[in-house]
Amino acid sequence: MRIIPAIDIIEGKCVRLSKGDYDTKKVYNEDPLEVALAYEDHGIKHLHLVDLDGAKSKRVVNHRILETIASKTGLQIDFGGGIKSDEDLHMVFESGASQATGGSIAVKSRNTFLNWLEHYGPDKIILGADCRDGNISVSGWQEDSSEAVVPFIKSYQKKGIQYVICTEISKDGMLAGPAFDLYQEILKKTSRVETTVGPSGVEDREIPGINLIASGGISGMNELPRLAELGCEGVIIGKAIYENRIALKDLENYILMHT
């Protein structure tokens, strides 16, 4: 399971929100590059970079920060927030992102998102399936849609999506544990059954159908093995690092043990 620290950006600074509420903004560091370098120094290879200004304004705003981090670290960056047009997406990849996450666009302009998936391929495009009370939320979590999360993911799985980030918004920033039951349901309903013939006879086993990245609510190292056991391909960790619930050294040791 990949360890993916998060950096959320408002006005060029590293912030965290609670349940996606912009009024709960707390600034943790004014230099995103400094934070990214600290992650890299501890053996972390991936970064989830979120343009919260972009999510709110419905266009990419903080691409310069992406460009700076991408050019001064070796981190593989997935970027989300405000990607609403072909031009936005092109800018994100030109600025150094390895992957781009589309959430609102996948709800509001399905054809555009599917065109991105076809043009760039499933290794580059991540489906953002952030939900509240089982329904997908959009526009920086400021609006709730009528799209139920599991059918929403399955509809894009049929079109070839491979990577999905799912945040249960009620958990995000609350340091009260992730949405284990939700992830279990998603993985079960998107898995496929593979039949094999071995020494003990015919066996059916479930194979994950998507690469599910858990996000929201992570509060301690003890939660990581359970997410890995469920079959999550990655986990995004934000506030728990800033609040010293999870030490970077512990993440470094976890990565070393599992590589």
The set of catalytic residues is: 8, 130
Contact 60, 94 (CB under 8 A): no
* Four-point Cα dihedral 50, 223, 164, 22, nearest 10: -30
Q: Report how far residue 157's alpha carbon sits from residue 49's, in angstroms, rounded to the nearest whole number.
A: 24
Beta strands in 116-191 (DSSP E): 125-128, 131-132, 135-138, 143-148, 163-167
Contact 17, 45 (CB under 8 A): no
Element housing 100 (H / E): strand 99-102
| Residue burial 97-123, b: 16+ Cβ < 10 Å; e: rest | bebbbbbbbbbeeeebbbebbeeeebe
Distance of CA 2 to the CA centre of its chain: 11
Would the CA dihedral through 31, 65, 79, 234 be positive or negative?
Answer: negative
H-type alpha helices, 42-103:
52-57, 63-72, 86-94
Distance of CA 19 to the CA centre of its chain: 15
Q: Is 13 exposed, middle or buried (0-12, 13-18, 19+ CB in 10 A)?
A: middle
Q: Any idea which residue has 């499933």 for tokens?
A: 122
**DSSP reduced 3-state for 241:** helix
